[in-house]
A and B are shown apart, each in its own frame.
Chain A
Amino acid sequence: MNVEDIQFRLEFDMRYGNQRVETAVVAKRARINSLHDVLELIGAFHVSYGSRFGEGSQATESGVGINTIRVTSFVELDKVHFGHIKPVAEKNSVEPVGSRACHFVDVDEPVDTPVYDDSALQAGSYIEGPALVTTSSTTYLVEFGWSFHASNHGAVWFDRLTKN
């Protein structure tokens, strides 16, 4: 990181009257020198508050308070783009790692249900329910009549199977 990449901005946590919520407002200038600057800050608060809680909800007449004055230092980083999470074209079958007897709503008897692991998160993996996919971060239950279709970046698509 280069020193010259570090940027600064002046922020105020502001509120109307004695309300609990405080709204962060980024000042347009680093120094408040005149009444005009104060009104400009109140104006920026007005815009920010209105966009959060609805235009017309502002209550400047109740008094405007500043609870915190803060200088924020920051560096702008490259963004991560999740561009390819939509369903992929290929549908690859996956081998289950085991099976368990599971109870499903509206099914009287337990159903022997295949269990899959993290490998099912490979983009293109395709499984029709009933199935259990246990991964390191979550467990997916694939119900009867539904399919599990893995895409990129760990995205998973559930689709209802067309009734024949």
Chain B
Amino acid sequence: MNGQTDNSQLESLSEEDRKLYKEFLVENQLFYGPDPEIMMDHTLSPRSDIEEELLSSDLDAQKINLVRGRLTSALEESFNMVEQMGVAPGAKWGDLVTAIFTANGDLSQVAPHGIVVFAAVCHYPIKFIRKYWENEPTVGIKEGDGFIHNDSRYGNIHNTDQSMIVPIFHKGELICWLASTIHEGENGAIEPGGMPSIAESRFDEGLKMCPFKIVENYEIKRDLVNFLQNSVRDPKLQLADIKVKLHSVLRLRDRVESIIEEFGKDYLIATIRRTLEDTENEVRKRVAELPNGTTRVNTWIDDDLREHILAKVPINITVKDDQMTLDLRGASPELMNRSTNMSAGSMKTSLLSNLVLFCWPDLPKNQAVLSPINVLTNKNSMVDSSPEAPNAMSLLPIFQCFTLPSTVFAKLAYCMPKRYAAINANHYNQPATFVYGGLTQHQEVTGNFCADINGNGSGARENSDGEHSLSPVFGYMTDTGEMELAEEELPFVRLVSQQIAKDRVGAGKYRSGMGYEQISTVNQSDEFGFMSGQSGAKHPSAYGLFGGYGSPTYPLAKIKNINILDTLKEDPQSFKFSMVDLMNEQAYEGGEYSAQSALNFKICNQGEIYMICQGAGGGYGDVLERPTALIMKDLEENLMSAEYAKQLYKIEFDEEKLIVDEEATEKLRQDERKARIKRGVPYDEFVANWVKEEPAEGLPYFGSWDDNEKIIASPPGEKRYVMESNNISGVMMSNPKDRKIKALEAEIAALKEKTGEGQ
């Protein structure tokens, strides 16, 4: 991709020839693709000369602190500007970041709101700009410039996110960068909304903006914006949010200039570098506090949005003194014609996000948190995919990574006298929301997503139950949005907007928080539909901790071929405001009822019903240790049925008065403990009976089994094969429709043979 060549050939050349060869390649580069040198390096840049000089001098710590405070205020102001002015639904509910970077491009500080996961991924495009455009005579970096970017292969969480990146000069010297990034959504992909589930190549993914200049003299170049507008379904969004991002950054620039005026540019440069180094040192100190050793967990996603698969996403954490290594080797190979791959940069920032939210939440949110930590992957795996592999729905493995480190970190931190956060089980970790698109009631074409993932249930903690519908797994202080505002703009109606679901929790001594369910239909448009990209309909995605249960599985359900809007006019009392009741009773004659995992984009006719549920997190500890008062509280709050409580928690109580018979409960629990012992088998016997040589035949399994050097691929309908972990080739999957046709043809042939026809 980058004009690199085989090292062995280079070594045979003389030093002079080698130099000539390299110069020739640099001068004659065909295409500036994603640069592995940039994209595989998540560490801080070395100090620049000016940083070295300043940080070696006698800096006033109080002034550094004041500059940090000023930057925090300025970043908060610019964040609020974007949230208030933005057009994208993501912007309105906090799916954005504003940030300041060192001149070298390291992200130093983000706004104290919103989405933490941006903290370790927005720096890559700046490093690309510096490496490739700074000395390119037709581009360059000048005061007044602004660069746009979205392609996650050049650094970004995923391709829906668009950035405005602005260099800041002081008397001609480049002193820092400022940027604003929004989850814009629509980007002209094969399905509306920016996260196409059916993308089979990177060319199905819509806009592929490597970093390029779109602003000069602080003015947006309208011809380039017009080209972008021409490439997407929502030209209004494309233009308006470029303005919003630019002007929020310009406000931030004003604040930075006033900081320079008050404290001098040296204090600004020193502060943003010092913040990174202080963070890095603190992380090393905290790692050193942990006991040495390795802990691990294997997780799987159960879907690639075209078919059910079991794709492994494992993690081993090894601590050795002040070194921590996060090892994801053994993960599923990349799938060359499925959208659920992710680049290493996206994966790493998900790991950072978990560490900074669930393990060390008091740390500053910047890229230095991950900088001192080693991350190991197999090349061409689902968690470190090649630039050729589509990654439009990388959110599936990304969301899994959002909960990986803390799951195993808990085992290391459990014995620690001082912890920085309560040990917690997994937050819910799949993007269970509707992506939508089509023609609105205002005759505008649009495509985007609902912010419901911001209402995921949290995991249980070592000392308390989880919170319901708290936040997305990757951020905090976000909002789920005002439904009225969405309905004003879009032709869908929430029949049930945000209802905490019953009996759908990660149980344990402490239970998880629950997500909410929603039931939607379309009104006032015949050309509007939904898509959903999530796994976890067959295999729980959020895992329990220390005996706690994992989250239940969450299928998506729909009722086609009805018009509930007519029913609501004629017989409103008949409508059941519950996904379970609607699906179990199947009361609407002629309705086509179905439940599934992911949903590829499909038109929703007016009055048809689509239902989805935000998931629960994982539970903590043994269900038999759950205090009976907490069980009664859940019953009082209608979060749980009596049947569920009795079956799971072994409790005896008066269902009418909710008074617990403590003595009988204790007996039930003791009996269950004895029953457990009786059911138990010695470890060796268990292993002998339970562990298999390889995954069950017919299981569409991807990833290592018992040996991380061997990577299994089991494409549905094809023979299973094994690859060496250091030589993985992306897996090409067959089309589910072709498999279905093949099966039907075989069925027809068998029937013909049976009836004697065709002989």
* B488 in contact with A56 (CB, 8 Å): no
By the criterion CB–CB under 8 Å, are A20 and B83 in contact?
yes
CA distance A17 to B240 in the complex (A): 9
**A54, B92: Cβ atoms closer than 8 Å:** no
What are the residues of chain B within 8 A of A54 when measuring CB–CB?
247, 250-251
From A61, which residue of chain B is reached at the shortest CB distance? B239
Residues of B within 8 A of A61 (CB): 236, 239-240
Q: Does A139 count as interface, using CB distance less than 8 angstroms? A: no
A21 to B80, alpha carbons, bound, how many Å?
Answer: 10
Most buried by B among A21, A56, A59, A63: A59
Q: Is the CB of A18 within 8 A of B489?
A: yes
Q: Which residues of chain A (42-70) have a CB below 8 Å from chain B? A: 53-54, 56-59, 61-63
In the complex, which residue of chain A has the Cβ closest to the Cβ of B482? A20
B81 at the interface (CB under 8 A from A): yes
Decide yes or no: A62 and B236 within 8 Å by CB, A18-B489, A54-B247, A56-B219 being known contacts.
yes
**Cβ contacts under 8 Å, B211 to chain A:** none
Residues B243 and A57 in contact, CB atoms below 8 Å apart: yes
State in angstroms the CA–CA spacing of A21 and B240 once bound together.
14
Query: Which residues of chain B come closer than 8 Å to A57, judged between CB atoms?
Result: 85, 243-244, 246-247
Q: In the assembled complex, which residues on chain B have CB atoms less than 8 Å from the CB atom of A20?
A: 83-86, 92, 485
Q: Determine if B81 and A53 form an interchain contact, defined as CB atoms under 8 angstroms apart.
A: yes
Chain A residues with CB under 8 Å of B240's CB are 16-17, 19, 59, 61-62
Which of A19, A53, A56, A58 interacts with B87 by CB under 8 Å? Answer: A19
CB pair B86 A19 closer than 8 Å: yes
In the complex, A59→B250 CA distance in Å? Answer: 16
> Which residues 181-219 in B have Cβ within 8 Å of A in the complex?
218-219
Interface-centre pick from A18, A58, A59 (highest chain B CB count, 10 A): A18
Contact with B along A17-54 (1 / 0, CB 8 A): 11111000000000000000000000000000000011
> Whole-angstrom distance between the alpha carbons of A61 and B81 in the complex?
19
Per the bound structure, the CA–CA distance linking A17 and B219 in Å amounts to 21
Q: A18, B219: Cβ atoms under 8 Å?
A: no
State the CA gap A21–B485 with chains docked (Å). 12
Residues of A within 8 A of B489 (CB): 18
Contact of A19 among B85, B219, B220, B246 (CB under 8 A): B85
Q: Which residues of A contact B87 (CB under 8 A)?
A: 17-19, 59, 62
Q: Mark A150-161, 1 if CB is under 8 A from B, else 0.
A: 000000000000
- A63: chain B residues at CB < 8 Å are 236
- Encoded as 1 (CB less than 8 Å from any A CB) or 0, chain B from 74 to 113 comes to 0000000101111100001000000000000000000000
Residue B239 contacts which of A18, A21, A53, A59 (CB distance < 8 angstroms)?
A59
Of all chain A residues, the one with the shortest Cβ separation from B239 is A61
Interchain CB contact under 8 A, A53 and B236:
no
Residues of B within 8 A of A59 (CB): 87, 239-240, 243-244
Docked complex Cα distance between A63 and B443 (Å): 13
Residue of A nearest to B236 (CB): A62
- Contacts of A56 on B, CB cut-off 8 Å? 218-220, 243, 246-247
- A19 to chain B: which residues have CB within 8 Å? 84-87, 92, 240
Task: Name the B residues within 8 Å of A21 (CB-CB).
Answer: 84-85
For A63, the closest partner residue in chain B by CB is B236
Q: Which of A83-138 contact B (CB under 8 A)?
A: none
Alpha-carbon distance between A59 and B489 when the two chains are bound, in angstroms: 17
CB distance from B186 to the nearest CB of A (A): 14
> Could you tell me the distance between the alpha carbons of A16 and B241 in the complex, rounded to whole angstroms?
11
- State A54–B85 Cα separation when bound (angstroms): 12
Q: How many residues of B contact A (CB 8 A)?
A: 22
CA of A17 to CA of B87, assembled, Å: 7
**Min CB distance, A80 to chain B, in Å?**
28
| Residues in A neighbouring B250, C-beta threshold 8 A | 54
Q: How far is the CB of A100 from chain B (nearest CB, A)?
A: 25
Residues of B contacting A62 in the complex (Cβ-Cβ under 8 angstroms): 87, 236, 239-240
Minimum CB distance partner of A53 in chain B = B247
CB distance from A13 to the nearest CB of B (A): 13
The closest CB in chain A to the CB of B444 belongs to A63
Contacts of A16 in B (CB 8 A): 85, 240
Say how far A28's CB is from chain B's closest CB, in angstroms.
Answer: 25
The distance in angstroms between the C-alpha atoms of A61 and B84, with both chains bound, is 18
A18 contacts B247, C-beta separation under 8 Å: no
Give Cα A6 to B489, complex, Å.
Answer: 39
Chain A residues with CB below 8 A from B86, complex form: 19-20
CA distance A54 to B576 in the complex (A): 50
CB distance from A47 to the nearest CB of B (A): 15
Question: Which residues of B218-243 are within 8 A (CB) of A?
Answer: 218-220, 236, 239-240, 243
Question: Measured between alpha carbons, how far is A59 from B85 in the docked complex, in Å?
Answer: 10
CA distance A62 to B240 in the complex (A): 7
Please give me the residue from chain B that is nearest to A16 by CB atom: B240
CB distance from B225 to the nearest CB of A (A): 11
Bound-complex Cα distance A18 to B85 (A): 9
Chain B's closest residue to A58 (CB) is B243
Q: Give the residue name and chain of the B residue nearest to A19 (CB).
A: B85
Question: Complex Cα distance A19/B87, Å?
Answer: 5
**Distance in Å: Cβ of B421 to nearest Cβ of chain A:** 28
Most interface-central of B218, B220, B244 (chain A CB within 10 A): B244
| Contact residues in A for B243 (Cβ distance below 8 Å) | 56-59
- Determine the chain B residues whose CB is within 8 A of the CB of A18 once the complex forms: 87, 485, 488-489
- Distance A20 CA – B488 CA, assembled complex (angstroms): 12
A123 to chain B, nearest CB (A): 29
Nearest Cβ in chain B — how far from A52, in angstroms?
Answer: 9
- When distances are taken between beta carbons in the complex, the residues of chain A under 8 Å from B84 are 19-21
Please report the C-alpha to C-alpha distance between residue A61 and residue B85 in the assembled complex, in whole angstroms.
14
- Bound-complex Cα distance A61 to B444 (A): 13
Q: State how many angstroms separate the Cβ of B371 from the closest Cβ of chain A.
A: 30
- Give the residue among B92, B243, B485 with the most A Cβ atoms within 10 A: B243
**Which residues from A are CB-within-8-Å of B92?**
19-20
CA distance in complex: A56, B225 (Å): 15
CA distance A20 to B481 in the complex (A): 11
A56-B219, A62-B87 are contacts. A17–B244 as well, Cβ < 8 Å? Answer: no
Q: B83 — which chain A residues lie within 8 A by C-beta? A: 20
Give the complex CA separation of A62 and B441 in angstroms.
16
- State how many angstroms separate the Cβ of B155 from the closest Cβ of chain A: 27
CA of A56 to CA of B236 in the docked complex: distance in angstroms? Answer: 16
Chain A nearest CB from B248 CB (Å) reads 8
A31 to B59, CA, bound (A): 62
Q: How far is the CB of B60 from chain A (nearest CB, A)?
A: 13
B113 CB to nearest chain A CB (Å): 14
In the complex, chain A residues whose CB is within 8 Å of the CB of B85: 16, 19-21, 53, 57
A89 to chain B, nearest CB (A): 29
Which A residues are in CB contact (< 8 Å) with B251? 53-54
CB distance from A158 to the nearest CB of B (A): 15
- A22's nearest neighbour on chain B, judged by CB, is B84
- Please give, as numbers and ranges, the residues of chain A lying within 8 Å of B488 by CB-CB distance: 18
CB distance from A61 to the nearest CB of B (A): 7
A58 and B243 CA atoms in complex are apart in Å by 8
Q: How far is the CA of A19 from the CA of B83 in the complex (A)?
A: 9
Q: Which residues of A contact B246 (CB under 8 A)?
A: 56-57
CA distance A16 to B240 in the complex (A): 9
Residue of A nearest to B80 (CB): A21
Residue of A with least CB distance to B486: A18
Give bound CA distance, A57 to B246, whole Å.
8
Flag if B236 contacts A17 (CB, 8 Å): yes
Q: Name the CB-closest residue of A to B481.
A: A20
A18 to B86, CA, bound (A): 8
Tell me the bound Cα distance from A19 to B243 in angstroms: 13
Can you name 11 extra interface pairs (CB under 8 A) apart from A59-B244, A62-B239? Answer: A17-B236, A19-B85, A19-B87, A56-B218, A56-B219, A56-B220, A58-B243, A59-B239, A61-B240, A62-B240, A63-B236
Q: 18 A–B contact pairs at CB < 8 A?
A: A16-B85, A17-B87, A17-B240, A18-B485, A20-B86, A20-B485, A54-B247, A54-B251, A56-B220, A58-B243, A59-B240, A59-B243, A59-B244, A61-B236, A61-B239, A62-B87, A62-B236, A62-B239
Report, nearest first, the 9 A-B pairs whose CB atoms are least far apart.
A21-B84, A57-B247, A54-B247, A59-B240, A62-B240, A18-B489, A20-B84, A62-B236, A17-B87
